Amino acid sequence: MKIWILSPVDKLPKDNPWEPWYDKAFGFIIAAPDEETARKLANDNGGDETGKISRAIYRTGGDAWLDGNLSVCRELVAEGDEAYVIMQDFAAA
């Protein structure tokens, strides 16, 4: 099993399923055999950035975690000898 880290892309289009920011998932760390399975698990466990609500409101909505233009899925592999932050999911209001 591999470990995958998923997050929205750095530069989201104006019309994106993470606006407004509430009731949404902004990151996942998932154990899965491949990227396709990791993305499906994220999409199945997301918030309002996925599913019928997102499709009804946003042109790009519905499959935010499946769409490589909206989200990033990378295999998480430890590299180097120095400690570093792997993920910080922070939103200020």
Q: Which strand (E) or helix (H) includes residue 76?
A: none
Nearest to 47 by CA among 26, 29, 16: 26
What's residue 19's pLDDT?
84
- Residue 66 burial class via C-beta count within 10 angstroms: exposed 0-12, middle 13-18, buried 19 and up: middle
pTM score, whole prediction: 0.79
What's residue 26's pLDDT?
92
What's residue 41's pLDDT?
95
Contact 66, 40 (CB under 8 A): yes
Give the separation between CA 46 and CA 90, rounded to whole angstroms: 16
